[in-house]
Structure 1
Amino acid sequence: MKQRTVQDEGNITWTCVEAFSGGSRKTAEAAKTLTKDAEGNVTVVCTPGGGEQSVRLSLPETWLEQTSDQALLDAIQATKA
């Protein structure tokens, strides 16, 4: 399971991972195919190190490699607004 960790201005560390990414690679790929939306986005769950609630984001399938840390933090902040 691949994940990204980012830290926000309040020093909260967020660990982000694609929903349904656990289990076997074949199962995870099948789940990703079934859960992609019309724009090709996948669901990403970001869990804080403390004090905040987890958030669900809809991000491009390439979020792991191509979304900057700041863009990821901006998406997390947008869900809390």
Structure 2
Amino acid sequence: MKQREITDSQTTKWICVQALAGIEGKTAKKAENLLEGNGNKIPVVCTPSGGEQSVRLLLNADWYERLPDEKLIQAIEQASKEDKREF
């Protein structure tokens, strides 16, 4: 399973992994078919080392290789803000 570790400006270390990493066989094919409807976006879960909450992101399929750390941190910060909104 591929995972990326990044550290934000508050020195929180985030570990990001593809939400469906490690799935194989028929289940993997079914998951792949479901994801095709997301416009080539895949779910990624980023978990912090400190007191922040984990966040779920929808990122381009090539996020692991091509998404710069700064952009990934921006996506995490944006998702964190949205999770904290009051309804």
Partner of 2:10: 10
Partner of 2:21: 21
Q: Which amino acid aligns with 2:57?
A: L
Q: Which amino acid aligns with 2:13?
A: T
Partner of 1:53: 53
Q: Give the alignment's TM-score, normalised by structure 2.
A: 0.80
Q: Give the alignment's TM-score, normalised by structure 1.
A: 0.86
Q: 1:22–1:28: 8 Å Cα contact kept in structure 2? A: no
Counterparts of 2:28 and 2:46 in 1: how far apart (Å)?
A: 19
More helix by share: 2
**Which blocks of at least 5 consecutive residues in structure 1 are unaligned?**
none
For the aligned residue pairs, the C-alpha RMSD in angstroms reads 1.7
Residues 15-47 of structure 1 show CA distances to partners (whole Å, capped at 9, x for unaligned) of: 0000110244x4674224423443210000000
Partner of 1:76: 76
1:64–1:27 distance in 2 versus 1, CA, 3 Å: farther
Q: Which amino acid aligns with 1:34?
A: L
